[in-house]
Structure 1
Amino acid sequence: MLEQYLRFKEDYPGSLLFFRMGDFYELFFEDAEIVARAVQIALTSRNPNDETPIPMCGMPHHAVEPYLSQLLEKGYKIAICDQVEDPKEAKGLVKRDVTRVLTPGTVVEDSNLKSKANNYLGSLYWDSKKGCGGVAWLDFSTGQWSGFSSKKEPELWQWLVKIDPSELLLPQGASVPPQYNELSGQVTPVAPAAYFDLSSSTNKVKEVQGTVDLDILDLGDKPELVRACGALLTYAENTQKSQLGHIGEFKPLNLGKHLLLDEVTERNLEIFKRLDGKSGTGTLWKVLDRTMTPMGGRLLEARLRQPWRDINPIQKNLECVRYLFDRDPLRADLRSALDSVYDLERLSTRIFLGRANPKDFISLRQSLRMLPRLHALLTNEDFTSAKELNSIAKKWDAMDDIASLLDSSLVDSPPPVITDGGLFKKGYDSQLDELIDLNEHGEDLLKKLHEKEVAANDIPKLKLGFNKVFGYYFEVSKAFKGQVPDHFIRRQTLVNSERYITPDLKELEDKIVSASEERKVLEYKLFQVLREQLSAVRSRFLFMADVIASLDYWQGLAEAARINEWCSPDVHDGMEIEIEAGRHPVVEDAMGRANYIPGDLKMDPQRRILLITGPNMAGKSTVLRQVAILTIMAQIGSFVPAKFARLGVADRVFSRVGASDNLAQGHSTFMVEMTETARILRQATKRSLVILDEIGRGTSTYDGLSLAWAVVEELSTRARGGIRTLFATHYHELTSLEGKIDGLRNLNIAVKEWKGDIVFLRRLVPGPADRSYGIEVAKLAGVPRGVVDRAREILAKLEEKSHDSRSKGAVERASQTLLPGFGAPPIEIKEELVEHPVITQLTELDVDGMTPIQALMLLNQWKDMIKG
């Protein structure tokens, strides 16, 4: 047996081998030590009296799921080695084989999955010679998969960070770039020739998709993406030991259809996780999620990761949300019915793969019972103002035939294990009915046979008995002097009685003894047939799963809007943003509606760049994030927290918020800040929305001010007229740019001084802030009074000297006296620059009308002019 174990362990060296032995799964050697420590079970040993006992641990096969879940959560891979022949029929060692390998990216059981989140297996292939690559991801539990190709390697890695795969396939030798190091723990290196080969990948994709041409899937000209897809399919096939017929149509990601949110923006805006890395309360997803089904929750996640850019789907979804928002009774009825709908996608996957237990079938039946009720709610409505709702009402599939099949077949409370029997109702199968009668009513049948013999034969005190040697028998007292019937066969003679059997009694006994086992075998076969019947209509389950997800998504957004008193936004193709009484939904959820002070904001061609000043804690960052979040909400078809909102569609939202470092990658706080700023300046377009918070604060005062100044100027000139930008800063020198940079306006968060303290009014008002109030904020934060008083003295002296116009070096000398190392010569910004003749000629140059020789001669002439 151990030799058999070690052979399988050699074939699966990277996996914990769960070895089936009777009613238990056992582990040996190092695997036993790992599992015992990881899941806190007793570590024993085989042959404990030997000099080298073998470490060993195990658990019952029917209770193994919780242990598997813990190990998968910790990142382990698990090879399940089952008995593949009946031990009763085995000659010698029972045959075993690895039936599947459990990995974090390929699990399908609910105990290993978050119901409202996708569980992705990712794959990335980069061809450095061609400068092109592809990334693909598959949710094996639902069969949904997607991906895209790009000539920008960072773009591929950014999307992997966004989707956060549980497992990531990379060719052996490839590594995760340092800036995306958070993915390192999910990497599974695989042999390039076996997994990323173009020819085999092409064949696998065609086979799974049932097509002869990759062009149908928009993959014909994307060989790197085909390789990434092939790796996913090969890995899934090798670990699951089954066909992949449940995998749906590959849908390449079209970046041009969606508002793009990079991983930095997702993190800074706390869409799915807070800045401390935790999910749940404090995230936008948590505030929005009022869905009742797992499918609706996953659709909300997908929409938040990929909001629409096209105004048409935005408007169609807003229509549906608005319709349900206006009808509280309908929405309440829908929520009640949806609450009883389970995960149709994952249930159908487990049934198709043969992994479903009886409980899954009952959950499926309960879900199907709700479909007619939901349809009845929709058919009573007039959806002329909500076309998408009208569409799903007309295409509805109540699946009555499948619901009736499940109703007539399965009992209400089946046992947890398929092979235990007791699954089917009486009346479903005539052969099974007979076995059920024998199994459950055998004693009654024996009594009836006994009564029949008593009535047919004049034998007083005829008894029915049983023992382990002879089984059931009739006992006749020796006091009976008559003749026993001819069909009575003597089996045992006792002092006072004779024991007999009859052909009918022996036949009934055989049936009763074998009925239990036969019933289990027959019920298992019937269950397999039922599973095949449901697998054949999986496409209908998936269609209704999509319909239910959409309906749940719309009602969830409507419910959130009604609870939080949000308004329907006016989404348009222009560039203007106008928000009246806007609120940050997550901050408001945390502090309560009564404690939140709403604010107004307007952006248009005359206000393309809003420069926001004000003290710390006044709410600058909240205002910035609020505008970005309202834009994202509107573009997923949601209402927004405002009294009125008119929002121009954005193609990308960029954020540079907060101060953080990445010491593991050797990046300081300032380096992270500059890296994020560089990405924004290189990738932002005219339709983008940029929010910047405290650019340049991680370096010296004049360095930081210069960088912030240059960034503002760049944003004002980019994309033929500037990029919509909200820029919060403490550099009050930048406020002088209003009137000098077209489209820049100063705003500030209002505060009021009262009795030596400051009161935050939380209002965004026109104009620059008069001062930073940093010392007052330090006092509020609890900085010792002596430090605060000394800071005021230093500030007074610095301000006094800085206003002394009689000495140009006053500020420098004062700062050197009071704050060593602070002083530096001020930057003089010339307001009027004389344009160089070369620049003048360049702007007037007709490039298309020049020959190469003329261009070279002109370049030489310009060179002489510049030297002169």
Structure 2
Amino acid sequence: MSKQKLTPMFEQYFQIKEEYPDSLLFYRMGDFYELFFEDAEIAAKELQISLTCRNPNSEFKIPMCGVPHHASKPYIAQLTEKGFTIALCDQIEDPKQAKGLVKRAVTRVYTPGTVVEDDNLSAKVNNYLAAIIWDESKSSGGLAWMDFSTGQWSGIQSKSENDLWQWALKINPRELILPQGKAVPNQYSEIDARITPAPSAGYFNFKSACENIREVQNVADLESLDLEDKMQLTQACGAMLAYLRQTQLQDFNHLGEFKPLNLSKFMILDEVTERNLELFKRLDGKKGKGTLLAVMDKTITPMGGRLLSVRLKQPWRDLSPIEQNQRAVTFFFDNDTLRSKMRELLDTVYDLERLSTRVVLGRATPKDFISLRQSLRTLPPIHSLLLTAARSTDEKSRAMAPILRTVMSKWDSMNDVAELLESALVDSPPPVITEGGLFKTGYNAELDELIQLTEHGEATLADLLKHEKEVNDLPKLKMGYNKVFGYYFELSKAFKGQVPEYFERRQTLVNSERYITPELKELEEKIISASYSRKTLEYNLFQKVREDVAKNRSRFMFMADAIAAVDFWQGLAETARVNRWVCPEVHPGMEVVIEEGRHPVVEAVQGSANYIPNSLTIDEKRRILLITGPNMAGKSTVLRQVALMGIMAQIGSYIPAYKGRIGLMDRVFSRVGASDNLAQGQSTFMVEMMETARILRQASKRSLVILDEIGRGTSTFDGLALAWAVVEELSRRARGGIRTLFATHYHELTSLEGVIDGLRNFNIAVREWKGDILFLRRLVPGPADKSYGIEVAKLAGVPKPVVVRAREILANLEEKSQDGGGNAPRQNSVQSILPGMICTGSEKKNEAPPEDHKVVKELRDLDVNGLSPIEALTLLNQWKKSLGDK
């Protein structure tokens, strides 16, 4: 459309659109939000609504579509969910009072990372906006993230750019702000966030960032926020604040205190470990059933659910908070009646964090206030329930955790706010705040009168008529109404008495006289204007209530934290009780002892009756457990269940075992399964080696490492050599070795027991029966006797001719191996192919074999039938000492 042919309306439209070129502009026209041109085409397609045309008979056809303004939220939610931003352009003056074109302006920009409405949010999931910057010249960067819907924000500064991107992947923001020209590295393309480019000079300017942070946090300097020496983190925080100013177009005083994440306080779980252990998503990327979170989440409230997710992402590393939370969980675990009543009460508590955020931002609906009121009603009963339990003479109840007593001592039932909402708002208010019907009678005298007039106007007129009849002895007095005079009194001309002086004659008819009185006129004006006055007064009163409630933001947040903690503890207790879990002993040492442990997710899917538990010990003599056995036997399950129990124990949870003793872990590393990243040119083996490299570089003495099938992605000898070297490196690191569970099909590695200090062989037991194998699912000492690959193939349904032929080929290969011919590796003789053993492989075939160990000679010559039990035990002890096993 040429400039000369623009109507005033489209001139206004384009002026506004130029300021928000990357947003879909919802342009208010009457009762609709209209979209035009490309915006209309996009919205119509994404929302599946009709695309129409403005000026259909003109050469300048303008695509357009629209949605009702009163029902726009679901449409906006759909678009933001798909990653679009929406600029909401409203009429900012009353059309009745406008001279010419109604003034319009963008009042808010909806973006995926800044939404606060429930339509756009998952109740138990944080909705993060994040910003990241890397300063190559200083080799330092910062990542900040914020849940705008709750006001909580944090961040980290790092000397490693990869660490920043790993954390970005871990927190999974919905929107990520990057400096202009910066892109997400290819290896982190899994970050599923809307990328918002921002000019470095404006958004990431250090000076502006400092000023914005000090203003928002109301502090004199950054030292109180632990940001004084974190330049890049400060820049990332400043970028988020600058973005909020541009999109929210209002103050955002609901933000809590900024707290940089102290990594030294928490167990670190990288995104690979989270994925491999299926903490929040299954390996197929789906959430829900099949994840640890789904099994553990028995929380009731949104705040409790979000706290559980945060704890699983960041388990504690220090013993003190772990033990405190364990005791709180135990208190609820031991009190079934208390826990049951608590769950009933928590079910009536809504999302205090997000509700109070909307109140502070002025976006709360009447329904939100009713939800707040209902939540506040529940606070006193919860406190009373806990107090009763604390005063109980029952021995278990007296053992209330100090952390729970602290919460109770600081409890704020917010009775004053509850009373305000109770006295003010009706139980079922209308959805909008401009149509009246919000307030109860008795809350405001002026409003009561207007309510009386609007809802009982006819009755008030009848009362006035009755009053005039009685006071002035006018039994024949009538009342009428017409559009000319409004309400009037009427007397028949047959009346011969005295008319009161304040009766003013307005009209004379053949048979009657019509009068008005000052009181009737005043009442008429009140009735006519009462509806408008009531709506206006109720709107103003509602704003006053909102302001009064908003002043209590800090109290709401404190109680939201308290409710979240109580819900977190009772939820873990409920899960433990339902699933028959036990409280582990978490200690500062290195030992990990699991008796009859189970995988929580597998057990939940299969049922406890079908699950076979396993026991294991990791200590100074058994730092590396080398686990062999066929596919499908359960090696990966055992590995993962130990890692999961370590994570669960360090959030204060019970664990699925008969008994557990777990030494503190600073990190859990997981390298399991086969995956590739072909889009970045990374094969399965490359991904495997990258993850292994990360583990070897970052693992410490306090880490737990689980490795599954290292080296299987390449040739047999290459893979075996790599697996061998990785085991050796893990045994050497951290001055004594790193706690490791290493599952492998390379049976040659089982010969390392006795060679590498602290390595022990275990296998998942199987039994052969009439040509088939039975998986016993039991972890037992010693190596597996073979791989059973062909038997597993048979179970998988591989055609019988293939299975038969595979057995023939295997027999032929084994025969050649035993004869010393061919190139097939000998399964039971690692000495022939690996260095460091008795034979290095460089000897010629005609060289004499090495002399047997003296224990082997004694065993060969031993008369077993002639030994008494005590003699056998003595001999075994002598052999053990001679082999150097302390």
TM-score by length of 2: 0.90
State the one-letter code of the partner of 1:84: I
1:740 pairs, out of 755, 762, 768, with 755
- Displacement of 1:384: 4.7
2:250 paired with 1:246:
no
Residue aligned with 2:97, SS: coil
Aligned residue in 2 for 1:473 = 488
Moved more, 469-478 or 749-758: 469-478
2:804 paired with 1:789:
yes
2:179 paired with 1:171:
yes
Aligned residue in 2 for 1:506 = 521
Moved more, 505-514 or 280-289: 505-514
Q: Is the 8 A contact 2:667 2:704 kept in 1?
A: yes
- Displacement of 1:811: 3.7
Number of aligned residues: 822
Aligned residue in 2 for 1:154 = 162
Q: Is the 8 A contact 1:258 1:307 kept in 2?
A: yes
- Displacement of 1:488: 4.9
Name the CA distance, whole Å, in 2 between partners of 1:451 and 1:536: 48
2:711 pairs, out of 696, 706, 713, with 696
2:313 pairs, out of 305, 311, 315, with 305
2:659 paired with 1:653:
no
Q: Is the 8 A contact 1:804 1:810 kept in 2?
A: no
- Displacement of 1:87: 2.1
* Mapping for residues 402-551 of structure 1, pairs under 5 Å: 402-455=417-470, 462-475=477-490, 487-489=502-504, 500-551=515-566
2:840 paired with 1:831:
no
Cα deviation digits, residues 364-413 of structure 1 (max 9, x gap):
11111111101111112335551101111111111111111111111111
Cα deviation digits, residues 774-827 of structure 1 (max 9, x gap):
11111111111111111111111111221114x4x3648x99xxxxxxxxx973
Q: Is the 8 A contact 2:275 2:283 kept in 1?
A: yes
2:771 pairs, out of 750, 756, 779, with 756
Distance 1:453 1:659, change over 3 A: same
Name the CA distance, whole Å, in 1 between partners of 2:124 and 2:522: 55
Aligned residue in 2 for 1:627 = 642
Residue aligned with 2:281, SS: coil
- Displacement of 1:494: 6.6
2:46 paired with 1:63:
no
- Displacement of 1:75: 0.4
2:372 paired with 1:364:
yes
Residue aligned with 2:670, SS: strand
Residue aligned with 2:202, SS: helix
1:46 pairs, out of 30, 45, 54, with 54
* Mapping for residues 563-712 of structure 1, pairs under 5 Å: 563-712=578-727
Name the CA distance, whole Å, in 1 between partners of 2:573 and 2:69: 45
Name the CA distance, whole Å, in 2 between partners of 1:297 and 1:826: 56
Aligned residue in 2 for 1:83 = 91
Cα deviation digits, residues 469-524 of structure 1 (max 9, x gap):
44333455677788866655565677776655443322211111111111111111
Aligned residue in 1 for 2:150 = 142
Name the CA distance, whole Å, in 1 between partners of 2:492 and 2:515: 11
* Mapping for residues 703-722 of structure 1, pairs under 5 Å: 703-722=718-737
2:302 paired with 1:287:
no
Aligned residue in 2 for 1:400 = 415
Q: Is the 8 A contact 2:671 2:692 kept in 1?
A: yes
State the one-letter code of the partner of 2:14: L
Name the CA distance, whole Å, in 1 between partners of 2:557 and 2:542: 21
State the one-letter code of the partner of 1:567: V
Q: Is the 8 A contact 2:173 2:192 kept in 1?
A: no
- Displacement of 1:461: 5.8
Question: Identity over aligned residues, as a percent?
Answer: 68
Residue aligned with 1:206, SS: helix
1:270 pairs, out of 278, 296, 309, with 278
Distance 1:719 1:416, change over 3 A: same
2:115 paired with 1:107:
yes
Name the CA distance, whole Å, in 2 between partners of 1:598 and 1:795: 33
Moved more, 294-303 or 89-98: 89-98
Q: Is the 8 A contact 1:358 1:417 kept in 2?
A: yes
Q: Which runs of 5+ in 2 are unaligned?
A: 1-8, 391-397, 841-886
Name the CA distance, whole Å, in 1 between partners of 2:217 and 2:490: 70
Name the CA distance, whole Å, in 2 between partners of 1:507 and 1:237: 49
Aligned residue in 2 for 1:822 = none
Name the CA distance, whole Å, in 2 between partners of 1:181 and 1:16: 26
- Displacement of 1:163: 0.4
Name the CA distance, whole Å, in 2 between partners of 1:491 and 1:178: 87
Name the CA distance, whole Å, in 2 between partners of 1:96 and 1:636: 52
State the one-letter code of the partner of 2:619: D
Name the CA distance, whole Å, in 2 between partners of 1:141 and 1:60: 25
Q: Is the 8 A contact 1:127 1:224 kept in 2?
A: yes
Aligned residue in 2 for 1:801 = 816
Name the CA distance, whole Å, in 1 between partners of 2:464 and 2:235: 71
Q: Is the 8 A contact 1:576 1:647 kept in 2?
A: yes
- Displacement of 1:46: 2.5
Residue aligned with 1:115, SS: coil
Name the CA distance, whole Å, in 1 between partners of 2:809 and 2:482: 104
TM-score by length of 1: 0.92
- Displacement of 1:282: 0.7
Name the CA distance, whole Å, in 2 between partners of 1:211 and 1:827: 68
Q: Is the 8 A contact 2:677 2:684 kept in 1?
A: yes
Q: Is the 8 A contact 2:597 2:615 kept in 1?
A: yes
State the one-letter code of the partner of 1:600: S
Distance 1:450 1:141, change over 3 A: same
Name the CA distance, whole Å, in 2 between partners of 1:422 and 1:356: 16
Name the CA distance, whole Å, in 1 between partners of 2:481 and 2:44: 47
Residue aligned with 1:246, SS: coil
Cα deviation digits, residues 120-144 of structure 1 (max 9, x gap):
1001010001100011001111111
Residue aligned with 2:745, SS: coil
Moved more, 281-290 or 177-186: 177-186
Distance 1:638 1:789, change over 3 A: same
Residue aligned with 1:261, SS: coil
Q: Is the 8 A contact 2:174 2:192 kept in 1?
A: no
1:329 pairs, out of 332, 337, 358, with 337
Distance 1:108 1:710, change over 3 A: same
Name the CA distance, whole Å, in 2 between partners of 1:185 and 1:493: 78
2:24 paired with 1:9:
no
Q: Is the 8 A contact 2:331 2:399 kept in 1?
A: no
Name the CA distance, whole Å, in 1 between partners of 2:693 and 2:15: 54
Aligned residue in 2 for 1:556 = 571
Name the CA distance, whole Å, in 1 between partners of 2:634 and 2:487: 87
Distance 1:429 1:832, change over 3 A: same
Name the CA distance, whole Å, in 2 between partners of 1:558 and 1:221: 41
1:217 pairs, out of 219, 225, 234, with 225
State the one-letter code of the partner of 1:827: I
State the one-letter code of the partner of 1:766: P
2:207 paired with 1:192:
no
Aligned residue in 2 for 1:20 = 28
Distance 1:475 1:645, change over 3 A: same
- Displacement of 1:190: 0.6
Name the CA distance, whole Å, in 2 between partners of 1:117 and 1:516: 43
Cα deviation digits, residues 291-324 of structure 1 (max 9, x gap):
1111111110110010000011101110111111
Moved more, 617-626 or 238-247: 238-247
- Displacement of 1:91: 1.8
Aligned residue in 2 for 1:125 = 133
